[in-house]
Structure 1
Amino acid sequence: MRNDVRDLRRARGLSQEQLGRELGVSRQTINAIEQGRYAPSLPLAIHLARFFRQSVEEVFHVD
C-alpha cells in the first residue's frame, strides 16, 4: 500500500519526530509507514488523514 504521508509531512515542515508526537506514536512508526513497511491500524490511519485534513483514501492508496 502506497501513501502520501512523507509528502504531506514535509509540506507542513514537520519532522518524523514532530508528527509522531502529534499523533502519539514513535518516530520509528512514522518512518515505517512512510517506507510502506507498516500498514497503520484503522484508527491511526484515520487520525493521520484528519491531521492532514484529507480522507483516508487521499492519503493511502491500495495498489
Structure 2
Amino acid sequence: MVKSNLRSFRKKNGETQDELARAIGVTRQTILKIEKNGQVPVFILAALLANHYNATIEEIFECSFN
C-alpha cells in the first residue's frame, strides 16, 4: 500500500492541483488520482514531484508492505 503526502506538500506550497500539474507536465486529474491514492505514480513522475518540492520520494509517498 502506498500513502500519498502529496496534498500536504502542495497545500504547504500554496499551489492548486492545476498549478502543480502544469509545473510538472501532467493533467490535474493525474494529481487528483495520486492525492486520493487511486493511482501509484511511475517512478519518473514520483521523481518529478520530489524534485518540485525539494523533497525525497519517501517523504511524499509512504510505502507499507503488510
TM-score category, normalised to shorter length: over 0.9
**Aligned residue for 1:2?**
3
Kindly state the Cα deviation for residue 3 of structure 1 after the two structures are TM-superposed: 1.4
Kindly state the Cα deviation for residue 10 of structure 1 after the two structures are TM-superposed: 0.5
Cα distance in 2 between the residues matched to 1:58 and 1:12 = 15
Query: Which residue type is aligned with residue 23 of structure 2?
Result: E
Query: Which residue type is aligned with residue 3 of structure 2?
Result: R
**Aligned residue for 2:20?**
19
Give TM-score scaled by structure 1 length: 0.96
Aligned-CA RMSD value: 0.6
**4+ residue runs over 6 A deviation:** none
Higher relative contact order (CA 8 A, sep 6+): 2
Structure 1: runs of 5 or more not aligned:
none
Q: Report matched runs for 1:1-63 at 5 Å.
A: 1-63=2-64
Share of identical aligned residues, percent?
35
Kindly state the Cα deviation for residue 58 of structure 1 after the two structures are TM-superposed: 1.1
Give TM-score scaled by structure 2 length: 0.92
Q: Which has the larger radius of gyration?
A: 2
